[in-house]
């Protein structure tokens, strides 16, 4: 059998001559020159970090619409916290912070100081303000920087020891500056998540009593609310009852915000809402039939796109494709393959072909074949549209809609044994982001 690398040098000879795949007329010299001139003019006019064919589209209009949908769902009596940690779930915090602040939520939840700095910087420049809740325990350096920079972050206290650290930061910086320093906190109670949180009402009372801290909220986090089975509902109800029992022993004032509901609980279990809900995946449209049965929320990461870089025609039967030579082209006929400029460097799964992952070219589905390389994915286009051949430069949609066909984030993730959260972060953090405005937003 002939390894694919041995036939690449012959590609140019057969590029537009394969009887196995009907030809589309190549670009004329005039068309090619026009395309080159247009690209040159574009890059002279607009500063560029470097041309790259692969990118994700983030729909800021859909994000705005999803927030409006969420506010309608919970009504005016429940506060709304928009969770924008991890660079807005991979969508790019800088791409969505303006829309988030304009929507007027009660809180924005972040984790890392670079995110908090960016969000605070935008708010100061725009003259608008939304309180920031750090939704993870701060390190000493993070807590100190937040106070020194005047960000007024409301920190989460996940244990008596961590509460003591925050207290020490407030007291020490107060002595150094000669002014009173108070760190606002939300105490986290562990009701079954098992990763952080006060275990008893006495531990919560110790945290609340620490000097230099001011209680703003009491919270917990659900471990199984996204489970579509009855077991998920039962487990969530158990956690709510444990939380309510502990909060009932604290005697906190009515001004303290009580919050438990994450996205799944917010969409399915109104009895978890309390004073405020914390929503992440819902506002990004990362939903399924269980969390959004009516299809109210739109995907904000609308697509992952790239282009065809190389076409291999008349590939002999049994030719190996990709690293480790695991995949071979079909026997009994020659194949036509397209190399797409995307790879695991872009967060695309390395073993996508094993799980039957497909892409869209010209509104048709084509299977990935061979292991995904760092920068290239090979697709079998042999059974293409007889009236239109695929050619270099054609758009490839790896996630999103093209024509009447669509590959959803849920499909791409589940085929590759990943959660949609993981796939969002992989694609968002490893690709250029192009912001679009669709989604029916005003």
The Cα–Cα gap between 215 and 221 comes to: 18
Query: In this prediction, what percent of the chain has a pLDDT beyond 90?
Result: 85
Residue 46 domain-assigned (yes or no): no
Residue 81 domain-assigned (yes or no): yes
Which of 229, 250, 279 is the last residue in one of the domains? 279
Domain identity same for 366 and 229: no
Question: Mean pLDDT across the stretch 308-336?
Answer: 95
Which pLDDT value is given to residue 5?
Answer: 36
Residue 83 has pLDDT above 50, yes or no: yes
Is the torsion defined by CA of 56, 58, 59, 63 positive or negative?
positive
CATH at residue 157: 3.20.20.10
Which pLDDT value is given to residue 3?
Answer: 45
Between the CA of residue 379 and those of 124, 309, 318, 340, 356, what are the distances in Å? 48, 11, 15, 7, 11
Does 421 participate in catalysis according to the annotation? no
Q: What is the pLDDT of residues 230-270, one digit of tens each?
A: 999 999 999 999 999 999 999 999 999 999 999 999 999 99
Which pLDDT value is given to residue 36?
Answer: 78
The Cα–Cα gap between 289 and 267 comes to: 11
Single out the catalytic residue among 85, 268, 305, 371.
85
Domain identity same for 12 and 155: no
Domain identity same for 73 and 166: yes
The Cα–Cα gap between 395 and 16 comes to: 19
Question: Mean pLDDT across the stretch 266-280?
Answer: 97
Higher pLDDT, 43 or 196: 196
Residue 425 has pLDDT above 90, yes or no: yes
User: pLDDT-based confidence at 438, cuts 50/70/90?
Assistant: confident
- Neighbour-count burial of 50, counting CB atoms closer than 10 A to its CB (0-12 exposed, 13-18 middle, 19+ buried): exposed
Domain identity same for 343 and 244: no
Residue 77 domain-assigned (yes or no): yes
Residue 17 has pLDDT above 70, yes or no: no
Which pLDDT value is given to residue 27?
Answer: 72
How many other β-carbons are positioned within 10 Å of the β-carbon of residue 199?
13
Least confident of 84-98, 139-153, 196-210, 426-440: 426-440
Least confident of 10-14, 153-157, 360-364: 10-14
Q: Kindly provide the b/e burial profile for residues 134-170, where b requires at least 16 CB atoms within 10 angstroms of the residue's own CB.
A: bbbbbeeebbebbbeeebebbbbbbbbebbebbbebb
The Cα–Cα gap between 10 and 313 comes to: 9
Single out the catalytic residue among 128, 129, 149, 323.
323
Domain identity same for 305 and 411: yes
User: pLDDT-based confidence at 302, cuts 50/70/90?
Assistant: very high
Domain identity same for 191 and 268: yes
pLDDT, the chain, mean: 91
Question: Mean pLDDT across the stretch 284-300?
Answer: 94
CATH at residue 370: 2.40.37.10
Residue 321 has pLDDT above 80, yes or no: yes
Domain identity same for 328 and 263: no
Question: Mean pLDDT across the stretch 61-87?
Answer: 97
How many other β-carbons are positioned within 10 Å of the β-carbon of residue 209?
11
Residue 224 domain-assigned (yes or no): yes
Domain identity same for 16 and 141: no
Which pLDDT value is given to residue 37?
Answer: 81
Domain identity same for 95 and 167: yes
Structural domain containing residue 213: 61-279
Which of 250, 279, 308 is the last residue in one of the domains? 279
Tell me which residue has tokens 């399915």: 268
The Cα–Cα gap between 78 and 160 comes to: 29
User: pLDDT-based confidence at 30, cuts 50/70/90?
Assistant: confident
Q: What is the pLDDT of residues 104-115, one digit of tens each?
A: 999 999 999 999
Spell out where 348-426 has E strands: 358-361, 364-369, 377-380, 395-402, 405-407
Does 344 participate in catalysis according to the annotation? no
Which of 247, 279, 311 is the last residue in one of the domains? 279
The Cα–Cα gap between 105 and 124 comes to: 16
| 346 neighbors 54 (Cβ within 8 angstroms) | yes
Domain identity same for 178 and 312: no
Higher pLDDT, 287 or 36: 287
Domain identity same for 319 and 412: yes
Higher pLDDT, 48 or 410: 410
Which pLDDT value is given to residue 388?
Answer: 81
Total number of domains constituting the chain? 2
Residue 133 domain-assigned (yes or no): yes
| 49 neighbors 43 (Cβ within 8 angstroms) | no
Domain identity same for 261 and 325: no
Residue 285 domain-assigned (yes or no): no
Question: Mean pLDDT across the stretch 351-372?
Answer: 96
Q: What is the pLDDT of residues 107-151, one digit of tens each?
A: 999 999 999 999 999 999 999 999 999 999 999 999 999 999 999
Residue 43 domain-assigned (yes or no): no
Residue 313 domain-assigned (yes or no): yes
Higher pLDDT, 29 or 45: 29
Long-range contacts of 142-148 (CB under 8 A, 24+ apart): 142/112, 142/113, 143/169, 143/183, 144/169, 144/173, 145/113, 146/113, 146/116, 147/173, 147/181, 147/183, 148/173
Q: What is the pLDDT of residues 382-405, one digit of tens each?
A: 998 777 889 999 999 999 999 999
| Helix (H/G/I), strand (E/B), else coil: 15 | coil
């Amino acid at each position: 059998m002939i390894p694919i690398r041995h036939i690449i040098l012959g590609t140019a000879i057969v590029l537009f001559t394969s009887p196995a795949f009907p030809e589309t007329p190549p670009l004329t010299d005039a068309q090619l020159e026009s395309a080159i001139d247009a690209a040159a003019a574009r890059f002279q006019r607009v500063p560029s970090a470097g041309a790259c064919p692969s990118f994700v589209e983030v729909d800021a209009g859909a994000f705005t619409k999803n927030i409006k949908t969420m506010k309608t769902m919970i009504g005016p009596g429940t506060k709304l916290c928009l969770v924008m940690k991890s660079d807005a779930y991979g969508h790019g915090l800088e791409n969505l912070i303006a829309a988030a602040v304009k929507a007027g939520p009660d809180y924005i939840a972040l984790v890392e100081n670079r995110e908090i700095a960016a969000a605070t910087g935008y708010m100061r420049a725009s003259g608008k303000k939304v309180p920031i809740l750090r939704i993870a325990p701060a390190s000493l350096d993070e807590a100190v920087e937040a106070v020194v920079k005047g960000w007024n972050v409301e920190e989460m206290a996940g244990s008596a020891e961590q509460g003591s650290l925050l207290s020490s930061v407030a007291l020490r910086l107060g002595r150094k500056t000669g002014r009173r320093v108070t760190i606002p906190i939300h105490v986290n109670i562990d009701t079954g998540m098992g990763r952080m949180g006060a275990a008893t009402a006495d531990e919560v009372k110790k945290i609340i009593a620490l000097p230099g801290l001011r209680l703003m909220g009491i919270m917990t986090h659900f471990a199984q609310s996204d489970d579509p089975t009855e077991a998920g509902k039962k487990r969530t109800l158990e956690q709510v009852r444990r939380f309510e029992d502990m909060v009932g022993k604290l005697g906190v004032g009515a001004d303290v915000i009580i919050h438990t509901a994450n996205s799944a609980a917010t969409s399915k279990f109104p009895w978890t809402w309390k004073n405020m809900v914390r929503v992440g995946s819902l506002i990004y449209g990362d939903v399924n039939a269980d969390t959004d049965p009516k299809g109210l929320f739109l995907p904000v990461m609308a697509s992952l796109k790239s282009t065809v870089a190389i076409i291999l025609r008349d590939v002999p039967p049994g030719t190996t494709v990709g690293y480790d030579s695991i995949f071979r082209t079909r026997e009994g006929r020659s194949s036509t393959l397209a190399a797409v400029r995307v790879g695991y460097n872009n967060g695309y799964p390395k073993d996508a072909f094993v799980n039957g992952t497909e892409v869209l070219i010209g509104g048709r589905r084509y299977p990935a074949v061979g292991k995904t390389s760092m920068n290239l994915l090979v697709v079998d286009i042999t059974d293409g549209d007889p009236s239109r051949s695929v050619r270099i430069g054609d758009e490839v949609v790896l996630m999103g809609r093209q024509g009447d066909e669509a590959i959803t984030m849920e499909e791409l993730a589940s085929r590759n044994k990943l959660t949609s959260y993981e796939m969002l972060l992989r694609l968002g953090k490893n690709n250029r982001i192009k912001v679009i405005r669709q989604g029916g937003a005003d």
